[in-house]
């Protein structure tokens, strides 16, 4: 009989060990994050729909300076309201915002660290390669033993899934800073910290924002998948439609997801381009 490497058993034993010894921390994190998420979600739902749509349209215009995009945001959100998907959309947007915030808070510092430390770069990049080729559904598996079914598990899996672009593009942006500018800064006696803050990060801004954009898009796609473990929102509406064979309702929820994705993507792209203008 051919010997089989106990890879699966080893991973299960590792997860069981972490669940047993980190349960106090995961419970505390779960309470804090779910409370913050609930407050954000309730706050967004409490705003009257017409007011929220008008504010979103104005915010999109202010960030992107694009009248057509602003009108699209107003029309798209009005359509979502009309389809009766308002609360589900607010739930999805709140989940994406919270998960993206955590992914960026972890991803950008790791990207900076990988760009300035060769050993860290050699460790982090292969890990990112594995993370980016792993099927999205696999990330749902470790989230359940740590946090159980629900929104916290969805946030955990979404953060892990969406973080790689923030790390990779932050590192790439800093590494692409022209070497003659780095030499010039060193000639003026700048410290490593000053060079990073005053030269490399400003020049890498557009690449870092591209990473943030990709992180948001991946977070949105993962939040939809995470409806299978209780994330609810628009993904939950799609999941319910599949279970009940309600094709029309499923497509309506899909249209809602597309509208949210287009608004977030275009706004981040336009905001990034505006930031590069002198």
Q: What is the pLDDT of residues 169-205, one digit of tens each?
A: 999 988 888 888 888 888 888 888 888 888 888 888 8
Confidence of residue 51 (pLDDT cuts 50, 70, 90): very high
Average pLDDT, stretch 237-246?
83
pLDDT of residue 180: 84
Q: Could you tell me the fold of the domain covering 7-275?
A: MetI-like fold (1.10.3720)
For 272, residues 6+ apart whose C-beta sits below 8 A from its C-beta are 205, 206, 209, 210, 213
What percent of the chain is predicted at pLDDT more than 70? 97
Per-domain boundaries in the chain:
7-275
Average pLDDT, stretch 218-231?
80
- What predicted TM-score, i.e. pTM, was given to this entire model? 0.83
Q: What is the mean pLDDT of the chain?
A: 85
Please count the CA atoms within 13 angstroms of the CA of 137 that sit on its side-chain side: 1
**Number of H helices and number of E strands within the chain?**
13, 0
């Amino acid at each position: 009989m051919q010997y089989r490497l106990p890879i699966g058993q080893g991973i299960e034993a590792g997860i069981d060990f972490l669940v047993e010894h980190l349960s106090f921390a995961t419970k505390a994190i779960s309470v804090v994050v779910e409370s913050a998420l609930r407050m954000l979600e309730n706050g967004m739902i409490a705003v009257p729909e017409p007011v929220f749509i008008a504010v979103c349209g104005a915010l999109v215009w202010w960030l992107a300076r694009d009248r057509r995009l602003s009108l699209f945001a107003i029309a798209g959100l009005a359509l979502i309201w009309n389809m009766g998907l308002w609360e589900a959309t607010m739930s999805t947007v709140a989940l994406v915002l919270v998960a993206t915030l955590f992914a960026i808070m972890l991803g950008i510092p790791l990207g900076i660290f990988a760009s300035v430390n060769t050993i860290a770069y050699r460790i982090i990049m292969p890990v990112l390669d594995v993370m980016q080729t792993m099927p999205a559904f696999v990330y749902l598996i470790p989230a359940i033993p740590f946090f159980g079914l629900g929104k916290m598990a969805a946030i955990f899996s979404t953060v892990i899934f969406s973080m790689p672009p923030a790390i990779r593009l932050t590192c790439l942006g800093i590494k692409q800073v022209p070497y003659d500018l780095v030499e010039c800064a060193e000639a003026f006696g700048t410290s490593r910290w000053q060079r990073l803050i005053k030269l490399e990060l400003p020049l890498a801004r557009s690449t870092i924002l591209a990473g943030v954009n990709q992180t948001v898009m991946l977070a949105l796609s993962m939040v939809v998948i995470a409806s299978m473990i209780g994330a609810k929102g628009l993904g939950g509406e799609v999941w319910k439609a599949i279970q009940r064979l309600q094709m029309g309702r499923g497509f309506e929820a899909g249209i809602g997801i597309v509208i949210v994705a287009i608004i977030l993507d275009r706004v981040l792209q336009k905001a990034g381009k505006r930031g590069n203008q002198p």
